[in-house]
Amino acid sequence: MSRPDASGWDQQAQQALKDAASDVGTVRIALRTAARDRAWSSYTIVLVAKAEETTGKTEQDLSSVQVPPARRIAARETLDLLSQAVASVQEARAHAADGRYDDPGLVDELTRLAKALQAEATKREAAAQ
């Protein structure tokens, strides 16, 4: 288990949040593209499944880092956001596997999450400096 100082934890959290935001954004774009019949379903499924794998690994990796006492509240918020991202990407993969690409509620949730993850990454970047 890694034991970084507060600044080191902020840097790791920032990278995890940016990575998850990228994965969530990729999934959102993949679903929208497939809904418009501009991507093969097999490609969409593989793309979303890969994002599901990497988002889960990102969450798992950060959760294994020892949180400095000064970052406990930030860690809860960060890990909660990452958990939401994992759940939404898993839902998107299930939708893609069923050939359902046009769920506006899911696309809206992915959009909200991508923005929230990026905003939290910006907060972690500021805290690391």
Instruction: Report in angstroms the alpha-carbon separations of 63 from 1, 6, 42, 97, 104.
Output: 10, 15, 32, 28, 31
For 101, the token pair is 């690409």
pTM of the model: 0.93
Residues 89-117 pLDDT 10s? 999 999 999 999 999 999 999 999 999 99
The mean per-residue pLDDT over the stretch 27-44 comes to 93
The mean per-residue pLDDT over the stretch 41-54 comes to 95
pLDDT-derived band of residue 2, with 50, 70 and 90 as boundaries? confident
pLDDT-derived band of residue 129, with 50, 70 and 90 as boundaries? confident
On whether the CB atoms of residues 107 and 89 are closer than 8 A, the answer is: no
Burial (CB count within 10 angstroms: exposed 0-12, middle 13-18, buried 19+), residue 1: exposed
